Each structure stands twice: as C-alpha cells, then as structure tokens.
Chain A
Amino acid sequence: MPTRNSILRCGYLLPRVLLLWALFDVMLRFAPPQWYAFRVHEFAMLTGPHDIGPFRTNLTYQNSRAYGDLASLGNCTDCRQYRPMNIHIDERGFANAVSSGAYDAILVGDSFGIGAEQPGGSTLASQISQRTGLSIYNACSPVRAITREHLMELIDQLGMTRGTVFFELMDWSLGYFRAAQEEPGFDGVDRWSRNVEYSPLANVSRELVGRLYDGQLMPNPYATNVARKLLPDRRPILFQLDDLRDATPDGPRLWARYFIVLNRELRQRGLRLIVILVPSKYTVYQPLIKDATRTNKSEAFNELQQDLPGIPVVNTTPALQQAAAYELEHGNLLYWRDDTHWNADGVRVAADQLQVRYASDFVRISGATKVTAISEKHSR
C-alpha cells in the first residue's frame, strides 16, 4: 500500500500524467510539422502567430510519401497514389516559398489554389505565372477563400495599387455560400479557441486510433463520406460525398452578388477581378461514369457566369470535362484518384483556359525581366 507521501498515489501520479500530456502537446507545436502532421489537412489546421493567412508563419511541411485524404477516409488502400508533398508558408501565413518585392497579381481561393497536392511548379499560381509572366502572390486558404476584409488588408500590405486578383471558386462552394463567407476564425477569441483545440498529440492519436477503425477490426465512421465509383477502364476512383450533392438554388445568385461587391471594391483600388470557376472531381468525371447521378453544378456555374456581366469569368468546366475524356483514353487523369483535388495536368488545363481568354490583357507591374513562378521556387 502506498504511504501518504508516496509519489505513486493516484492523487499525485494521475494529475501529473495529465500535466505531462499537456506539456508534451505544447512542446510538439515547436517541432517540425512532419513529426505530428501526417496529412496535409492536419498541417492546414496548424494555428499559431498568424498575420492574415490561415497557416502558422515561416514553416515548411514535407512528406515524401503522402497520399490522398479520400483513400485514407474510406480505407481504400488500393486507390492510394503516393507522391511527395512540399509546402512552404511565408511570413504572412500563405503558401508561398519566398517573398517577392512586388506582385502583379494575387490568387485567392481554396485548397485547389493552394496546390497542396501538387509538385513544385505545378500549382495554379505558378502555372498562370508561367503563361502570363505575372508575379503572383498565392493567398489561397484551405476550405474557403479569405474574407474581403483580409484581402483588402493583404493588398495594402503588398502595396498593390494596380494589378489583378484571381478568385478561384470551386463548385463545392455553390452549396455553401454562407459558410464560405463566415470569418474563418483567425482572429481574437476564435484564434485562441482554435489554438486550444488544435493538438499535435491529437494528430498522433488519430493516426494510432485510425488504424483500429479500418472497416474490419472496427467500423470506419468516415467511410460513408467517400463514394467509390469505377472509371470506364475499370479503375476505381474516389469522390467526396459532398461533391455528389447539388448546388443550392440560390448559390449562384449569392456568389454573383458577392463578386459584384468585390469587383467594385477592387476597382476603387485600381485592381481587376478575374473569377476562375473550377469544377469538382465529380462534375468533371460524372459524364464518364456509368450510372452516375447527375448534379446541377455545371448549370449553376453557367448561371453564375451569366449573372456576372462585366466581370471576367473563366469557367474551366467544359475544358476540364473535355480534357478528362481525352486523357482517360490515354490512361491519364486530371484529378487524383484518391483525393478531391486536381493534379498537375488538371491545373495545366485550367491555366491554359485563362491564357486563351485573358493573357493579352494582363498588366505587369513587378518589372522583373523573367518572372519566376513562386511555386517553382518551392522545389529549391
């Protein structure tokens, strides 16, 4: 039996176990993220001393054997596509390798724009940069774009008085206008509570516990969020369940109103807005999959485009659908089979569309003789 002063008493030992856990959790935040972030979304959840960006500043995440979230969620080991992943976060909390002196353009958008799933040099920002010669600041944020207020603040910080704002909008957002407009929680109490909620040890625990919930030993509660379909060549392809849902009827109208206001604000600052509409994987591959349920997102994008007279809009859906059909005949895909995001080929198709429509209109301010794509610098 323990004495009253023994350190192996419950009242002494157990609270210290909790304390040690908490201390270890705090200390891990200062370790390299690859120690405790096993997937890119776990890295994306990192919180810290933000400026206006969504990520902790001045940080590099590398993973030599990353694979898509859908394969992970759905326990689809046969669909995994291993690839290296490398993101650098700049001093403002955005995914840019190095700071440039001046920028011609800003790319605003969601995870499709961040390019987390791309090898260096293949992000949307770098592909547009390569085609247009513009120096582009990648200000994309996971899940949803930064707010208008943060965008204006960023423009001020970058000292931009002329140039272009590319707004990448994924069709998923058509069903979630209000959620996409909400303050993402990088400030004040929200930031504090996110920091408390975020736990590197939780990532490690999830990795451990996730192995138990493999769908056989234990049921996988997330598997229902993943839809597995077959391509015409019999290869399995995974979709996020959300992508199989229709856009809400008022989604295009609400987004159109948002872009009109944003366009007006940008014009007052001497900037120009170009909207890039990006379809989800399901919208692109739905015509190629036998017995696939039809969604209305293509029509919703058309509707949005019609509601934005006077604002340049590049709808990449038809080009991506066409290219997807063509590439599939050659065994290639434009989106990762095991993830919601596009791959380098998909980005290329979208960047080509932008070049075809607007390349001659761009204003270069940076004055660099050879503009190096920011994302190309990743690979250094």
Chain B
Amino acid sequence: MLFNSRVFLFVFLPVAYFVFWKLSSKQLRYIWLTIAGYVFYSFWNYKFCAIMAFSTLVSYAAGIGFLRFQDRLRRKLCLIVPIVVDLSLLSFFKYSGIWKFALSSGEWLTSLWGMDAASSLLWKFHVHSLLWSRALLEGALLPVGISFYTFHTISYIVDSYRGTIKPTTNIFEFACYVALFPQLIAGPIVRFRQVENDLEHLDAADRRSGLDIGWSYFVIGLIKKVLIADTIAAIINPGLASFSTLGTAGAWLCALGYTYQIYFDFSGYSDMAVGLAHMFGIRLPQNFNSPYKALDPSDFWRRWHISLSTCLRDYLYIPLGGNRASMYRNLLITMLLGGIWHGANWTFLAWGGYHGALLIVYKVFHETWDALPTLLRRGAMFLLSVIGWVIFRADSFAMAEQWLAKMFYPTTGYMFAGAIVLAACIAVAAAIAHAAPNTFEMSHQWSPRAACALAVGLVCCLIMISGGQRSPFLYFQF
C-alpha cells in the first residue's frame, strides 16, 4: 500500500487514525499501531509479515537479555547472535545477486584459494540451496522495507548493548516501534531513542496540534512526490529507456531530472512519514536538510538521508576507528557499504565508492576547498552530486559511461517528448531545493490563504493519483 494510493488515503488512514484516538490506554495504542503496521505491510505480501515478526522477536529477546545478563560473554552473545540473524535475513533476501555471483565463482575460488573439487562442489551446492529456498519462499521477490526495519532492529540491539537506551520490556511497545507504518517501508531509519519518549507518552499526545502539523507535512510531502517527482519521472523514464539516442541536452536534462526526482521522491516520502507519525503523536527525526545546498561532500552527507548516514557513522564508521585511525580506509569502507545497502548492484557500489572518494579528496584538500566562494562550492558540490546520481541511476557501467560521455562531450541526438515540461519542472524543483526552506525549517502554522493553497495542492495530487499512472516511491526498492 502506497501513501499515495486511494486505498491508503480513503480507507487505511481514516480507520487507523480514528481507532487509535478512540483507544485511551498506551498499551492498546501500541497494539493497534502494531496491527496497523502489519496490515499495511501485508498489502505487499502477507508472507513477509512473518519475517518482520521473527526479526522483531529476536531483537526483543536480545533487549531482554541485556536487562537480564550482566556478564560480558552473554551480553556479547545477545549482541552478536541477533545481529547475525538480522543481517542473514537481509543478505538472504536482498543480495541474491551476490549469492549468484558466489555460485559462479566456485571455480575461481578453487584456483585462488586452493579449494579442492569436493569443497568447490559443496560450496556450489550450498549457494544453490540458498537460492532455491529463497525463490521457493517468496518467488524471487524482495520483502519491501527489509533494509529499513533491519536497521531499526540492529540499532536497537547495539544501543541497548552500549547502554545508550534502556531496552523495553513491553513487547508491544517494541513491536509498535518496528512496525510503525509511517516509517516501515522507506524510513526514515528511526532509532529507538529518537521515539522512545513519544512512545512512552503515547496516551498523552496532543491530537489537535499533531493533526495540524501532521497534515501540513503530509500534504507538502505528497505534493513533492506526486506533482514534482512523478512528473519528472514520467518524462525521463521513457527518455532513459532509449538513452543511446540522446544528445548532450537530453543527457543533461535526464541527469538533472533524476537528481531532483530522487530528492523530491524520497524527501517527499520522508515528509509524509513525519506527517503521518505526527498524526499519531510521534515525532520522527529529520531525514533531509536541503542537501543540494551543501557546500562540500561532508556537508552533503550531513544533509542527505540523515538517518542512514548517521547510522553508518555510529554503527560502522566509528567502530571501524573513525577519524582516529585509518580514516580514509574507514571512509571508503563505510561509503561502499552505504552504496551496497541500496541493493546488490555494482552501480550502487560504485556510487558509494565515488562518494567515499569525494569525502577522502575533500578531507585532503579541505582548506583549499573551504577558501573558495560559497556559491562556487555549492555549485561544484551540486555538480558532483549530479554525476553521482548518473552512476546511481544507470542500469550498468556501460550506460553510466555513455551517459556521462554524452553530458560532457557535445553530441547531437534525439530529444524526448515532454522536454519543455521537464525543463519547467527542473526550474521549479531547483528553486525549491536550492532557495526555499525545507519542511523542518517551516513553522507549519499556515495562514488561511496558505492552508487553502495546500488544499488546492491536495486536490491536484488526488487528480494525479486517480488519473495518472501509479508510481511507487524510489526508495521502496532499497
């Protein structure tokens, strides 16, 4: 079920909302939000609910273990076992490409590591059985949102282990946190400590103010997604389907279009998630802080997908040694893993590597870079991020190479239908992304005129949702 679908807007949300506020006790609200989360999730594939429930139970049990055990060994076990389970589930479902690669590399392993024929055969059999059982289990489909809720559960386990949070003994509170439908499918990756207080006081939430702010966030997010991101997608997708015929102008329009599409799509989703959570008395953290206003690569990653980059920083980069030892190596590993988190695709890995390289170069030359005029730094950082998105969007390295070549070596070619509308959309998107305040910088106390403008925007979105093609959020695939 998509936030921009009629069944969500007209059936699921009203039912979830009214029942929630009819319930007075905290416990009942936890239970209701958990049920709502599982119903929401089951609209993709009800079988995958079992995986989420299993992951929830394992992580909850780990939390209970941290409360019960004080000795180092058992606490370590409570840390490692559930993380291994969660990561195994993630890799099992998400990285079948890597498993297939592993399968094809049987001979390579034999020659490289001196593996004998029997071991190689065993290795192949093992990978084959994994692939087969995966296909059998879910028809080669990826359980949507698995990357996000796995991060939720892992962050909970690690924070509990570190003592940053006190694990909850209330299974419904924890299940409600994992299955909270606004952030279940595509984030933000909310850490337990960020919503712990709101969950604790769920029975004392202010319905009226939450509703005002929530609807404001939600409709702004919907407008960003439906009116801007989807319009851009409707034009650039057919253009990119025949990208080999594009000329320089077309290649640039597609690159810029995708740069804004992914931002408005994902930040729109995040705003909708924040808005929906507000309606239920929960405040989710900011996920985007005007990333295209960034002045340098470090700044970009403080602004883009903040919940992921902070998770990578806290749970990967710092444990690897952070700035203290082998900083460049740590940066590169973190960014490569950040890239592969998006899926088993070499272009994602290359995108992560590209950003890792940018961060390293910036760390080396930051004094020179920081001395440049602000406008120049901002423009250059934006251009670098556009190049990154070309790598990210391309289906293969060959496509990325050709696309970039078309952008930087003048070539004539075919201009796709809708180029004028796309240019207008890019202009509007650029004005908003580079000059306007982001949703967390807004007060959400709108004048009557502004509220009416949002209502008109909502009607336009409803027309587009009802009359246009259904468009899933880009980050659902990650």
Contact = CB atoms under 8 A, between A and B. Distances in A.
Nearest to A9: B212
Contacts of B459: 17, 21
B417 interface: yes
A206 B466 contact: yes
B234 A219 contact: yes
A201 B466 contact: yes
Given A4-B208, A8-B451, A217 B7 contact: no
Contacts of A101: none
Contact of A13 (B452, B465, B467): B452
Interface in B199-238: 208, 211-216, 218-219, 231, 234-235, 238
A2 B416 contact: no
Given A10-B451, A218-B418, A221-B234, A208 B211 contact: no
Contact of A196 (B7, B445, B446): B7
A127 to B, nearest CB: 37
Contacts of B463: 205, 208-209
Interface string A193-229: 0001101011011111110010111111100000000
A63 to B, nearest CB: 19
A14 B458 contact: yes
A10 B219 contact: yes
B85 interface: no
B210 to A, nearest CB: 8
B451 A2 contact: yes
B9 interface: yes
Given A201-B466, A218-B234, A218-B417, A14 B7 contact: no
Contacts of A331: none
B10 A18 contact: yes
Among B11, B448, B451: residue with most chain A CB under 10 A: B451
Given A18-B9, A218-B417, A219-B238, A10 B466 contact: no
B468 interface: yes
Nearest to A199: B466
Contacts of B239: 219
B299 to A, nearest CB: 32
A209 B467 contact: yes
A9 B448 CA distance: 7
Give chain B's interface secondary structure class: helix
B454 interface: yes
Interface string B395-420: 00000000000000000000011101
A219 B416 contact: yes
Contacts of B10: 18, 22
Contact of A217 (B238, B418, B447): B418
B98 interface: no
B393 interface: no
Interface residues on B, range: 35 or more
A137 B235 CA distance: 47
Interface residues on A, range: 35 or more
A15 B465 CA distance: 16
Given A196-B7, A205-B462, A208-B467, A11 B214 contact: yes
A216 B415 CA distance: 11
Contacts of B238: 219, 221
Given A218-B234, A219-B235, A219-B417, A17 B445 contact: no
Interface in A1-58: 1-2, 4, 6, 8-11, 13-15, 17-18, 21-22
A206 B469 CA distance: 9
B159 to A, nearest CB: 33
B235 A209 contact: no
A213 B213 CA distance: 34
A213 B216 contact: no
Nearest to B220: A10
B464 to A, nearest CB: 6
Among A18, A196, A201, A219: residue with most chain B CB under 10 A: A219
A22 B234 CA distance: 26
B117 interface: no
B427 interface: no
A13 B468 CA distance: 25
Given A9-B451, A205-B467, A221-B238, A15 B418 contact: no
Contacts of A213: 234, 468
A11 B234 contact: no
B466 to A, nearest CB: 4
B234 to A, nearest CB: 6
B467 A2 contact: no
B446 to A, nearest CB: 6
B6 interface: yes
B455 interface: yes
A123 B6 CA distance: 37
* List of 10 A-B pairs having minimum Cβ-Cβ separation, nearest first: A205-B467, A11-B211, A209-B467, A8-B448, A11-B212, A205-B466, A202-B466, A206-B467, A10-B215, A219-B417
Interface of B: 6-7, 9-11, 208, 211-216, 218-219, 231, 234-235, 238-239, 416-418, 420-421, 444-448, 451-452, 454-455, 458-459, 462-469
Interface of A: 1-2, 4, 6, 8-11, 13-15, 17-18, 21-22, 196-197, 199, 201-202, 204-210, 213, 215-221
14 contacts: A10-B213, A10-B216, A10-B451, A11-B212, A11-B215, A13-B454, A14-B451, A199-B466, A201-B462, A205-B462, A206-B466, A209-B464, A219-B235, A221-B238
Given A10-B444, A197-B6, 15 more contacts: A10-B212, A11-B215, A13-B452, A18-B462, A196-B11, A202-B6, A205-B463, A205-B464, A208-B463, A210-B467, A217-B418, A218-B235, A219-B234, A219-B239, A221-B238
